[in-house]
Structure 1
Amino acid sequence: MTHQRDLSGQPEGEVNFRLDDLFFSRTDPRGVILAGNDVFQNVSGFAWSELLGAPHKIIRHPDTPRAVFRILWDALGNGFPMGGYVKNRARNGDFYWVFAVILPTEGGFLSVRLKPSTPLFAQIRKVYAELAARERAERLDPGDSARRLWTIITEAGFTSYTTFMASALGQELAARDHRLGRPEDPRTRRLIEMNEALERVTQEQKKLLRSFESLQSIPNNMRLVASRLEPSGGPVSAISENYRASSLVISDRLRSFVSGRENLCDRVSREVARALFLLGANRVMAEMIATFRQAEPVPGLDWQTEAAKLAEARGATRRDSHAALTTAVGHAEELARSSAEIRRLMLGLDTIRVMGRVECGRLRENGAGLVSTIDQLDLFHAEIKARLETILRLSEDIGSAMSRFVKADPDG
C-alpha cells in the first residue's frame, strides 16, 4: 500500500457528489477494506491499490468526534446494526459528509452510505464541530465524549441514540426521495410517524411522573391544615393520609414504565426505532445491489460476490425488522394497558379529592386553608387526566398501526 502524506494542515474544501450516489464498502472484523464501489473510490480520491487492504480509518476526518466511532463500534461489536453521520477525508485533504448504514456480517462488516440533506444534518454538523473541539481541548476520553453526545441527543428530545439514528435515516431517505422526484415510500413514512408518536408518548409520561411527584407535598399541607382545624385523627387527616397512600401507588406504577433501565416506554421506542432503521437499511441495500449490474470490472473485486453478500444482509434486515415490530406490538399493548390502569387508579384519587371538597363545605369559613389546598389538587388532576388521555390515545394508535403494518407484511 502506498504511504499517505499527512494532509491535516492543508486547506480543505468539500467534495461534490450527486444525491443519488451511494457508497459501498466491506471490511474484515478489524476494519480492513476488502471491497468497495466506484463512488467510494472516486469521491475518496484513492486508487484501488491504496484502498484494498487498507484500514477504513484511512478516510477518517478529525472533525468527526471520536464519540461517534465509540458508539458505532460498541453496537457493531455486540452484533447490532448501527448508523450515523460521518465526516470523511479524501486523499487530497478535502472532506465529504455521509450518513452511514453499517451492518455486521459473517466475516466482518459492510456499509452503504448516502449523501445527507436534511435540517437535522445541518444541526448535527454544529454539534460535531463543538464536540470535536472539546475532545481536543479537554483531551476527552471517547467514552466520556460519547456520554456527552448521548446527553445532547436526549436534550434534543430523543430517548436514545437508537431512536435518533432511526429517525435520522428515515428523514434522510424521505428528503432524498423528494429531491430526486421519487414517490414517497409509505412504509418509511408510517414508521417515521410511529417513531415520532412514541417519542411524544415518552415525553408525556415523563411530564406525568413529574406532576405526580409534585403532588406528594399536598397531603403534607392537608395534615398541617387539619392540625389547626380538628383533633388528631379527624376526617381531614384521614383524607390526606388516604390521598398520600394512593398517589404513591400511582407514582410507583408510573416509574416502572417511564424510568429506570429497560422500562416499558424505552423498550417500545427502541424496537420501533430498530425496525425503522432496518427498513431504511433494506431500501438502500436494494438500491446498492442494482448498481453492481453496471459496475466496471476492477482487479481483485467480484461484483457478483458483493451483490450476494448484500442480498444476504438485506434478507436479514427484512426478517429482523419484522421481528422488531412484532415485539414492539406486544410492548405497545402492554403500554396501553398500563396507561388504562393508571387512569382507573386516578378515579380512586379523584374520589378522595371530592371528599376533601365536601369537607371544605362542612368547615365553611374555617376551612380557607383546606380550600386553597383542594384548589391545587383540582389543577393537578385536570393536567394529569389530560396527559393520561393523550398517552392512552397515542399508545392505542401506535399499537394498532404497528399491528396493521405487521399483518400487511406477514412474511417479514
Structure 2
Amino acid sequence: MTHQHDLSGQPEGEVNFGFEDLFFSRTDRRGVILAGNDVFQRVSGFAWAELLGAPHKIIRHPDTPRAVFRILWDALGGGHPMGGYVKNRARNGDYYWVFAVILPTDEGFLSIRLKPSTPLFTQIGAVYADLAARERTERLDPGDSARMLWTTVTEAGFTSYTTFMASALGQELAARDTRLGRPADPRTRRLIEMNDALERVTQEQKKLLRSFEALQSIPNNMRLVASRLEPSGGPVSAISENYRASSLVISDRLRSFVSGRENLCDRVSRQVARALFLLGANRVLAEMIASFRQADPVAGVDWPMEAEKLGRARDLTLQESRTALASAVGHAEELARSSAEIRRLMLGLDTIRVMGRVECGRLRENGTGLVATIDQLDLFHAEIKTRLETILRLSEQIGGVMNRFVAGDLQG
C-alpha cells in the first residue's frame, strides 16, 4: 500500500503528532465518551462538545477491519485487558494510527494510545488493508473475519492473539523509548525476551511432537523385517513392540502439554503475555497520570478524578501482573517436570534402540534391512535430543527471568 507524501515526509492525509503524545479516553460500558485528554481532542479534530457524550466509534476508520473490534470487545467483555493497532479517522477525514491499550473498569473502559513505529506495525497495516477489503467485498461476518486475523497471527509464529498483542506492545514501547532518547526499560526488555523464548519453546515442542509421531512408522518397518528374519515372537519382534509402546507413551505425554485447548505450553505463554501487557499498560498509565498535572481546564472533565481513576487502574495492573507471573511460574515448573520426564523416557527408548543395533551385529549380513531401520532411528533420536536440549535451555532462561520478577523485580 503506497501513500503520497508532502514535503515534510508525512503521508498525505495523515494527521501529524509526536511520539511523546499519549491519547487518553474513558467511556461507559456502551462506549460513550466520558472523558479524554488534549491529545485526543487535538488529533481527532473534534471540539470537546462534540466528543463528550458521543460514541467512541465517532473516530472509527473503515480501513480498520471489524475483526479487530470483535477481538477487542470479546476480551474486554470477559474482563480482560487487550490492545490493538487501530487506524482512526479525524473530523476532516484524515487518518492516524495508534496502538491502543484498553482496560476494563467498574464504570466502563479506559484507553491509552501511543504512536506505533515498529516493523510489526508495518506488517499489520498490510494485513488490515487486505482483511478490510475482504470484509467489504465478501461481506464477511466479524466472527469469520476475526478467525482469519487470528490465523494470520498464528502463521506468523504466535501461539495466540494475546501473545501477539503483548509482544507488539513491548516492541512499541521499546521503539518509543528509543525515539524519545530514553534509556531502555529493563522490565519490558526482559519480558519481551521471555515472551520470545516461550514462543520458541512452544514451536520446538510442536516440532518434537511431530518427530515422535513420525517415529511411529519405524517399529512397523522393524516388525516387517523381523517377519522375514525370525519366527514369530523372536527378539527383533520383541524389540519393535517395546519400542512402539515406549514411543507411544512419550507421544501421549508430549501431546498433553503442546496440543489442544488449555495445554500446558499455552497456559504458560498466556500468563507471561498477560504480565508483559499489564506491565506495559502500567508504564503508559503512569506517564498519562503525570500529564494531567499540566492539563488546561475543560468543561465536563474533572482532571483530579480522572487521575485518581488512572491511579487505581495502575495499581490494579501491577497487582494483576504479579498474579499472572506467579501463575506462570507454577505452570512453568510443571512444564519443566514434564520435559525432564520426556528426557528420562528417552533414555529408555535409547536402550531399546541400542538393543536393536546389537541384533544387527548378531544377524550380520542377514540383517541389512534391520540396519537401515536402526539408522533411521539414530537420525530421529539425534534430532529429538537436540530439540530437548533447546527446550530445557530455554525453560531455564524463562524460569530465571520469572523468578526475578516474582522476587520483587516488577517495580523496575
Kindly report the root-mean-square deviation, in angstroms, between the aligned alpha carbons of the 2 structures: 1.2
**Contact 2:191–2:276 (CA under 8 A) maintained in structure 1:** yes
Deviation string, structure 1 residues 130-180 (Cα, Å, up to 9, x no partner):
111111111110000000001000000000000000000000000000110
Which residue in 1 is equivalent to 2:387? 387
Match of 1:406? Answer: 406
Contact preservation (8 Å) 1:12, 1:95? no
- Counterpart CA distance in 1 for 2:360 and 2:133 is 61
Q: Which residue of 2 aligns with 1:194?
A: 194
Match of 2:285 in 1: 285
CA distance in 2, matches of 1:37, 1:244: 65
| Conservation of the 8 A alpha-carbon contact between 2:13 and 2:95 | yes
Where does 1:318-329 land on structure 2 (aligned, <5 Å)?
A: 318-329=318-329
Q: Deviations over 1:361-408 (max 9, x none)?
A: 111111111000000000000000110111112112211220111113
Deviations along 1:95-122, one digit per CA (max 9) or x if unpaired, are 0000000000011000000000101000
CA contact (8 A) 1:332 1:396 kept: no
Superposed CA offset, 1:306-354 (max 9, x none): 1000000000000000111111111111111110000000000000000
SS of match in other structure, 1:382: helix
Contact 1:167 1:195 in 2 (8 A): yes
Aligned 8 A contact 1:333 1:396 in 2: no
Structure 2 counterpart of 1:258, one-letter code? V
- The DSSP-based 3-state class of the residue aligned with 2:407 is helix
Asked whether the equivalents of residues 265 and 335 of structure 1 are also in contact (C-alpha less than 8 Å), the reply is: yes
Matches within 5 A, 1:137-148: 137-148=137-148
Q: How far has the Cα of 1:217 moved from its partner?
A: 0.3
What amino acid is aligned across from residue 74 of structure 2 in structure 1? D
- Does the residue aligned with 1:360 lie in a helix, a strand or coil? helix
- Distance in 1 (CA, whole Å) between partners of 2:185 and 2:411 is 19
Q: Who is 1:91 aligned against?
A: 91
> Post-superposition, which runs of at least 4 consecutive aligned residues in structure 1 deviate over 6 A?
none
What does residue 296 of structure 1 align with? 296
Total equivalences in the alignment: 402
C-alpha distance in structure 2 between counterparts of 1:209 and 1:354, whole Å:
22
Residue 209, structure 1, aligned to residue 209, structure 2: yes
Residue number in structure 2 paired with 1:153: 153
TM-score, normalised relative to structure 2: 0.96
Runs of 5+ consecutive residues of structure 1 not aligned to the other structure? 1-10
Contact 1:101/1:281, CA 8 A, preserved across alignment: yes
Q: In the aligned structure 2, how far is the partner of 1:186 from the partner of 1:408?
A: 14
Contact 2:187 2:410 in 1 (8 A): no
Partner of 2:4: none
Structure 2 distance, partners of 1:213, 1:287, is 51
Give the deviation of 1:409 after TM superposition: 3.6
CA contact (8 A) 1:26 1:110 kept: yes
Is 1:27 matched with 2:24? no
3-state SS in 1 of match to 2:76: helix
Distance 1:128 1:401 in 2: 34
State, as a whole percentage, how many aligned pairs show the same letter.
Answer: 86
- Deviation readout 1:13-47 (Å, 9 max, x if unpaired): 11010011000000000000000001000100001
Native 8 Å contact 1:19 1:115 kept in 2:
yes
User: TM (normalized to structure 1)?
Assistant: 0.96
For 2:71, the equivalent position in structure 1 comes to: 71
Where structure 2 has 5 or more consecutive residues not aligned to the other structure, the ranges are 1-10
Check conservation: 2:103, 2:110, Cα contact below 8 A: yes
Contact 1:333 1:395 in 2 (8 A): no
Paired AA for residue 285 in structure 1:
L
Using the alignment, how far apart are the partners of 1:95 and 1:283 within structure 2? 26
SS at match of 2:68: helix
